[in-house]
């Protein structure tokens, strides 16, 4: 089965290529099929955005399409930045701008109010069958007093999530540690199980 990855994020594409491995599954990118239109992300939840994107690309291209949405949530900020994680410093904001705003807002907050998580929702939409598959995963941790000096381009909030069981920020994980806890890897494992009926 050919499955279109409805994203232009190279980090996400790399993750999906690594984690969605099945003999009967061929992953396609938007670049592979020469499709450049982009949907509007106007949903109020990760679920709404993931579904909107998957349906947009699937209906336009007629390929079953995977799209996801997610963000960084801080309890002391009532779950913000959440769905605004990429956009909350404006369209021209950088990864550093996002971290700077986040840590400025959290100045003075005590450890017990610094619980945080990375959450992702992944949707696969089948345009012919009009069927939808969804999975959700998260990584729980806490915000340190200052961000990790290690920043991964495109994934700034990994520098703001301290995982106590590893005693370091998520951005500092080795490849093996990253795969063990990565929420996208976990989502892909669950997704492959749900896709199995379509792959036979």
CB 57 within 8 A of CB 30: yes
- Taking the CA atoms of the chain, what radius of gyration do you get in angstroms? 17
User: pTM of the predicted model, to two decimals?
Assistant: 0.89
Place of tokens 């020469």: 34
Over residues 40-98, the pLDDT tens digits come to 878 899 999 999 999 999 999 999 999 999 999 999 999 999 999 988 898 889 999 99
| Structural domain span for residue 84 | 2-199
Residues with catalytic roles: 69
Which residues of the chain fall short of a pLDDT of 50?
none
CATH code, 76: 3.90.950.10
pLDDT at 153: 85
Among candidates 119, 121, 126, 120, which has minimal Cα distance to 195? 126
Domain tally for the chain? 1
pLDDT at 11: 81
pLDDT at 68: 95
- Residues 6 or more apart in contact with residue 90 via CB below 8 angstroms: none
């Amino acid at each position: 089965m050919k499955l279109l990855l409805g994203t232009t994020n190279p980090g996400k594409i790399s993750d999906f290529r690594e984690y969605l491995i099945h003999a009967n599954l061929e992953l396609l990118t938007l670049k592979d099929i020469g499709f450049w239109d982009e949907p509007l992300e106007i949903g109020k939840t990760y679920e709404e955005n993931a579904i909107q994107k998957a349906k947009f690309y699937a209906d336009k291209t007629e390929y079953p399409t995977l799209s996801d949405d997610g963000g960084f949530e801080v309890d002391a900020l009532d779950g913000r930045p959440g769905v605004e994680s990429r956009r909350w410093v404006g369209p021209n904001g950088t990864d550093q701008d996002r971290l700077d705003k986040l840590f400025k807002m959290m100045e003075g907050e005590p450890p017990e109010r610094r619980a945080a998580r990375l959450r992702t929702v992944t949707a696969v939409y089948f345009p012919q069958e009009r069927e939808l598959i969804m999975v959700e995963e998260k990584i729980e941790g806490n915000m340190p007093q200052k961000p990790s000096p290690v920043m991964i381009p495109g994934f700034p909030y990994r520098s703001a999530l301290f995982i106590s069981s590893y005693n370091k920020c998520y951005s500092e994980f080795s490849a093996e540690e990253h795969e063990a806890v990565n929420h996208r890897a976990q989502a892909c494992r669950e997704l492959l199980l749900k896709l199995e009926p379509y792959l036979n």
